Structure 1
Amino acid sequence: MNNSQGQAYRSGRFGVLETHFGLQVMFDWNSEVKVRVPSSYTNATCGLCGNYNGDKKDDLLMPNGQKANNPTQFGNSYKVGDALGCSSECKDCAQTPPTPAPGEKPPPYVADCDVITDPKGPLGDCLGKVDYARFHGSCMFDIQLNKGLQKAACDAIAAYVEQCQDAGGQINTRRKKDFCALSCPKNSEYSTCAPGCPATCYSMSAPTGCKAACREGCQCMPGFLLSDEECVPIQECGCKHENRYYRSGQIFYTDGDCQLRCSCQSGIVACQVASCGPQEMCSVLDGVQRCHPKAYSTCSVSGHSHHLTFDKLSYDFQGACSYTLVTVSNSAALNLSWFSVFAEKEHVMVGKVSTTRSITVRVFGVSITLEKGFPWQIQVGNALTQ
């Protein structure tokens, strides 16, 4: 995959892979996965993320077209291979959050999750913008399953904050030295609204086409740009085309009908004949004219395998093998670029639940893997790089 086909960059705590046709895959090198596809892929996907047809009632369709009896049968129908410790389901799985016996109070540590539902708290602005009940339930489930482990609550709250900020919500400082503390690298500082697509020394500005909202996290101090995990002094790059400046890696169109697609790479502009797809429109957005998808939809896997499909069906699946998150089921007929996203899952908590261990994206004939335990590194083919 060359730079005109897509790019990889860092956004908050996520590694992001984006392609020019609108696919976006995010992994936090821990357990959370997000796959966003444009509306041109409506009725053209299958896998654990669902079929993206606008109807969540038929999201649990197996490859044979039949509806699965339960999430376990559905998940196993998309198994693509064995992983270390692979099993189709876990024994003695915790399917619902533990509930106190009559007259018994819940453990005090569940109060860590209350920041999600507190209307006067630092996340109060999120209540009307995000399905807070789902995130609060996931937080309660995870922290009780982990016997009060604070990190379980912190991960669930972080996922909620990101959804909130994506929806335009604003947050106040919520982290403390004794609660979800965050340590920032040299030459960077904590911010409740750090750039969602931070400038790097490779592009001098945000990655091309990135529209991500600001993220809670670390940002480089003035005078520094991000390089791998370090903030370093500024360098420059970019292109000028027809008296206009374009960022390195940026894709743009020079005519009114989006018939000529151009890209800027290392100071050189290259153009080729193109056209917008059936679910795209040619318009000016953020001062740049190009083909834009009419809409996007995101599938996610968070915490202990809490799945949310493109059509917003929520389910839990605790299998621990390698699975198809999404693949293109009708690329040729719709003239779409083909891709697949696979998730390798592993059991934790003595086999009670599973979590994502690695994500592999296959696109443009290249296999790209992000694996738990190797933060800020990606494997392209057999080569590991930062």
Structure 2
Amino acid sequence: MLLISLLFLVFLLSFPLVIPKPSCSVVLCREGTICKMINEQPKCVPVSRGTCWAGGYIHYRTFDGWVYDFHGNCTYTVAKTCRDAAGLPSFHVMVKSENSGNTQVFYIGSVTVQVDGVTVTAARAEAGFVLCGLCGNYNGDPSDDFRTPDGDLAPSVTALEKSWAVEDEDQFCWHDCIGGCRPCDPSITKKYKEEALCGLITKVSDGPFSQCHSKVDPTVYLDNCAYDLCHNEGYRKALCEALKAYVDACQLEGVRIGEWRQLARCREYRFVSCPATCVDQSAPSSCQEPCVESCQCKDGFMLSQGKCIPKSSCGCQFEGHPYAPNESFWVDEACGTRCICNATTRQVECVAATCKHLERCGLVNGVRGCYPSSYATCSVTRNLHYATFDGQRYDFQGTCRYQLTALCKKAEGLVDFEVYFQENNTSPLQIKVYQTKLKISNQFPGKVLVSFSNCL
């Protein structure tokens, strides 16, 4: 028996071990996605990609290609998941429309994105109707893009706007032009569609965008451009933004656009797709993405969280998160390990630590740390009624400068600060913290005056 086993082992060893290569043949993708080999690995990717955009003053194009103009200045749902769908993350995109005093002209003031419990203020459905909002439902049929949250077809753009309005602090917004939206005079529209202006979009002979016409229909962009210039009285920035909207659409389809800003007398930008960041400083040299117009940091600066900072301020990377030089943070839920980004080595150094007495480990505004177990308030009213941290109340009519509170005994971990109060003073409340002086002044109601002074 032992001899047979050894012979069988020799037989096996005489043939090389063949490991089957990963293949899409053994991968089952959910509906709406197909398997493709990416970096020699099978991946489920969407069958199609849809884009909804809003631009100019304000024009919308839904996922399915329906185009309409917009004249409201409230907060609206642009797109969100309307029901649970396996594998699709729940998200909600809202825009706040604003106007600059001209009730005929509106623009996007801000965009809010909510996804995975995170709110930031900047997959195709299996059978449609998983997405909903002003961008439509992305089911391939533009004729039903005007559906309201109730599922009915809105009879007008204004009715559609109202149905997707989101309640916010602005209680006096409106959904249409006050007094009615004035159409542009045909003669003015014709003027703005000339080749020297919006006509650059549709110019065929030596036109900067001609190579994109077969990919992206320029007609809608031409009409939007003329509309924006008409209602902005030929404002050059409106022209540049309208042309840039067509450039973005072309680049999204992989079309490279040549120089156009000089022809249109628009501010020039540098072309970059993968800017150097603190996370990847060599990104520009290995970038495979097509070039797009963008602002770029100057030499010696890196992009970090949307801002250009000196390369020396990049700090550290730890478990996928960036940290500023000398920034400290806790790495476990129990606040048992505290780390710091070494500004010199740009390496994270960690040591065992615990919260102090009367502190508890917790998460505040997404930041884990040791926070006070309790809080207290000391107050002074307009009529000079005082209330101490412990609830003692008294009246005091003095007019000198008094110390309301301060850190009387220096202690590790406690920030040194001082708060002073003086009645009948132009700056009755003065605060000193982190070598910075703050004043609450009667001369500037609703504002805080800041001075980087070392003395009060």
| TM-score normalised by length of structure 2 | 0.39
Higher RCO structure (Cα 8 Å, ≥6 apart): 1
| Structure richer in strand, relative to its length | 1
Q: Which has the larger radius of gyration?
A: 2
Q: Compute the TM-score of the two structures, normalised by the length of structure 1.
A: 0.45
